[in-house]
Structure 1
Amino acid sequence: MAGVIHAQDGADDIELDIESESVTPGSTISGTLDNNTPRNVWFFEGSRGEVVHFQLTVTSGTLDPVLTVFDSHGTLLFRRDDQANTRDLDLTVTLSRDDRYYISVARFGGALGSTQGGYSLLLERVGVLSQQGSTLRYDEPVIDRISSEQPELYYTFRAEEGDILNLEMIRSSGNLDPYLIVVDSNRYQIADNDDYNEQTEIARIANLLIEETGTYVVIATRYGQAGGDTAGNFVLTISESENSGLGNSILAPQRIASGESVEGIINDDQYQRYFTFTANQHDLVTITMDQTSGRLDAYLVLLTAADEVLFENDDGGSGRNARISQYRIPQAGTYTIVATRLDGEAGTSLGGFRLQFRIEGSAFEGVNPGIPRLTYGSSLQDQISDADPDSLFVFWGNAGETITVFMNRSDGDLDPVLELMDSQQQRILRNDDASETTQNARIERYSLPYTGVYYIRAMRYEGEPATSGMYALSLQRVSD
């Protein structure tokens, strides 16, 4: 036994195992007491102000039951033996504090008793008394009154990082103009509401994102608070929003670090999971989503902090697995990974997955830092002259991407020439005149053969006389 709590049950000194089996309010326990087992013990987690109903029914034999409840220090809350004209027991109690409570079901006389038989015990949470400092439970309404004598009431609740919550305070009598405030454990206000949708009888804080696990305080009051002049009864409720929980929505993505592996399940209720990471400009990231069970057809999406799609992949891995390989991060910042299935909400595949994330260094590691970096969609102005007859640029491309490069003269008599080179600066393509009617250079709709570094050389035609002038250079990724 890892540990016990000593408690007094009548004349008996009993030991409560701290690792007793837990029971959830709303469930029914069944058991049998006899000479070998004269007592059973369970525990449940309770909150201050919570109203709990116990109903013990003898189901067989001669059993004369005794129902006892203790707190975590072994202090007796109540002991109930006989009830008029029946061996069954029925009572309701209000808990005085947040604690773990132990339930003992024994036969009269304990180990020295003579009765035996079966029983069932129903434990129900029937409400919460609205007293200052009461703990709110999800989906369990609290009823109370705001008046000039009591213009505000305080409640607490526990929440986990990533929870998304709704709090609602509805007037049920009088002319009360409800006002709700939520503060964190440091007493900083994080949300408030007076008239939800311009309805003076309702205060509602919708989709409150919990950014840190801890205890929060709800202040139920009226418009103007202590200086207000409305009064009346209200009903206060807290509930979880759809997709509440870390990683279940884009509002609360789960953090993932380089080298970390996370497992999850995709089904019709939760067809996508969200993860977030930070990276530096030009970092190379590789993300894999492998099926671990079922028939899941994995699908990956990479988003910017503004939820713009950067890259998608269906079957980049083996089989039905998805993979984004060595994607170059365009700007330092925060990014979101969406792990989902083919066709998302309309998809039909289900199953478990393993998501792996790695930052594999910089795209331009080993490249001369003096060479300008180009990104897709970028344009620049530069000059060709006798003193500077060519310029070298570098960019990162992915295999299969189609690119177009323009070099257009903007002044002078420059005759532009473009070269596309591989990572060893070996020429892949060269273009002098894009057509018979222009001297501008263009490499058009070229499909990149590998993922990695490419170079662009902007230069002039080498004939006589030598030309010079300003030019505009543009690198574009084009769709098929």
Structure 2
Amino acid sequence: MKWLKSLLIIGILLIGASSPLSAQTAEAGPPVYPITPGNVEGNISEANPYVYYSFELEAGQTATIDMVTTSGDLDPFLTLYDAQEEILTDNDDAEGGTRNARIRYTAEEAGLYTIEATRFEQDSGTTTGTYRLSLLLSGTNNTTDDTIDPLSIPPQFGVDYRLLEFEQFGAGRISATTTNQYFVLGGQQGDFVQVVMSYLPNELTPLLTIRSSDLTVISRVTQSEAGTLTVYATLPRTGWYLLDASRESGAGDFALYATRLADTVITSGETLQGQWGAETPAISYIINAAIGDRVLATLTAESNGLQPELTIYDLDFNALATRQASDDTARVRAIIPRSGPYIVQARNPRGTAGQFSLNLRINALDVSKLDTQDANYNKNYSGVIAPEPGTTAQDNDGIVYYRFEGKAGDLVSVQMQAAQGTTLDPYLILTDANLNELAFNDNVGATRHSRISQFALPADGTYYILATRVGLQAGTTSGAYDLQLTVGQFTPTPGALTVTLEWQGDADLNLFVRSPDGQTVSWSTPTSDDGGILQIDSNTGCQTPTAAPVEHVYWPGTTAPPGTYTIWVWYQQVCTRRDAVPFTLNVQVDGEEVLQIAPEDNMALLPDQRYEAAIRIEEPTAPGSVVDPGNITTPSAQQRASQGGDTLITYGQSVVGTISDDVYALFYQFQGQAGDVITLTANQITGTLDPIVVLRDDREQNLAMNDDANSSSNAQLTFTLPEDGRYIAAVTRFGLRDGATTGDFRLTLTRQATGPEQDEETAQEPADQEGAVAEITAEDDTTEQTETP
């Protein structure tokens, strides 16, 4: 296995000043640019009124082609040709009220097709400008796979590691100074993996665990004989896994050897034969099921009297159903709470050798019998998530289903917000007609609202919206909500000051605008006290990618606070692409353009880079001016953590983070109410980390902190919140900048219904530590300048 496979991305061609990556030029004709599904940018001018693109289409496939003006007065016009250069169809105005062009065509035969992108009246036309051309392929014969192989992206663990490949050895040494050695193993969903650790028993007593990408332990341990430690795991997803070799006592050298024993994905109607052994008393299998599916699994031991045990788990090893047989057969039934993979474990409680058979049946949910509400584009809906989940159908089990009809290429947006005064924490899921998940969203930026923005439907047909709560049927929040379903391109809200960012692809770019009094409007803080509002946030955390990402910040009304505004465009997270991402930026004051980054400027950001500019408004009614036209910098790792926005967490939630010498503090935010008794716990997962947890108010004043709780190096504090509002939790390490410990941690936020007052012993630490933590966000803002446009 190679350490890094080729990264599959949707190609983006920059048309205009840059040369095409691949052009086919006829002897006397214009160049034709081969494209794949996705977006390309182009320019129609007097000198070049036509641009041609080619793509492959299979018989029965449907191509949806959109040409949207991005600048100028361009009136787009599209024509589609077959391989013989015969016109198949054309379009001027896609729908009433817009001059954008759209073609939807279903191919009768496979072949090469050509798109002509031009303007109304072609050569004799007078309109010019830039455009975005989008190509979407769909249909029953669509074999286009734009998914990304998780193994093509380097492992993202917070510790130094070495790659371990199947059927190869890895070696290391554990001692008092190096208590953990880490290896990374890549595998496919359903792989049943054995890892053997060899060592000298008179020197070392080792420990070995296998962790998933979220650092959940998925391995089970058996000691076969002195000098070897063997662990087993069934891989729940395709991806990278962390092997953590540590010690119970002693010191010494060791070797690791990994073997793929079997592919253990089981499908409905299948019966598999298996065998338990002294080293493998429990064998796990992976099933893939959709929400509402009824799963029936039957485990039969071939030997009498074994009384096998059968369990269905989710990927966090929460049991959906379990049963131990009184004879030789165990049966379990479960209703799947959410679409995705699940684990079926066959266990021999006696730990002896024996053969067994496992049969699986999945009865898919009959969606026609769902209690659904019909929905239509550009309509508002309201409902209530039942307070008592799972009691009767009328209580909706925590999920309300909406059904709508859509066309291939429709850009669909759904937003759900809880009513004031309710505990509801909304959660949205968009599915196809068979309830297979297409997109989902929990929180929009730092709010509890849920939003799926401009998702391009893959085919004509029926779709479902699941309006629910965090935890779905098992969730505990409830209350009334409002839901909006819209279709089409995003329309930015005008204002005294507007800043609009657009880009292509599912990279996570974010817009930050800092007002004259130092308040920042961004995904992390979507509103400011001086009136700034983030209207839309796209691709945050790569959770819900959109087909047309856009972010828009504005100050409503006719006047904005006078002073200097700092604007950042920040490539904060790699989703599925690692190349440079072109973007456009438009800044207006009272409707007049002050600063613009246009497509022909060829401005692009690499991962972690930040474009920084500034404008100034002298008086509320005066025109704006450019203070800094902008340059591209690379913030430090700690600046990314301190300035890049505080991650939202909610009561009952745990998050995983990494403290290193480059990033010695991480920040999280939550909403609380006066009188809430909250507990923050930071537990070490890997490495030598000695965590410190700090609680701050919205004004960044420290309220409480803790280093070592309950005679351990983990940190925990309990505190009664003094007022309603936003609070910040910081996790750092003992010694802060000068500390020496590193590793991964798990931060957990809980709220007690009633509880003790602030625990002085666990909530206070010496003032010098507290002051140092408070200075983290005031770190030197110097960044490495890498490009100046």
TM-score bin (small chain): 0.3 to 0.5
Bigger CA radius of gyration: 1
Compute the TM-score of the two structures, normalised by the length of structure 2: 0.24
Relative contact order, higher structure (CA 8 A, sep 6+): 1
Compute the TM-score of the two structures, normalised by the length of structure 1: 0.36
Which structure has more strand as a fraction of its residues? Answer: 1
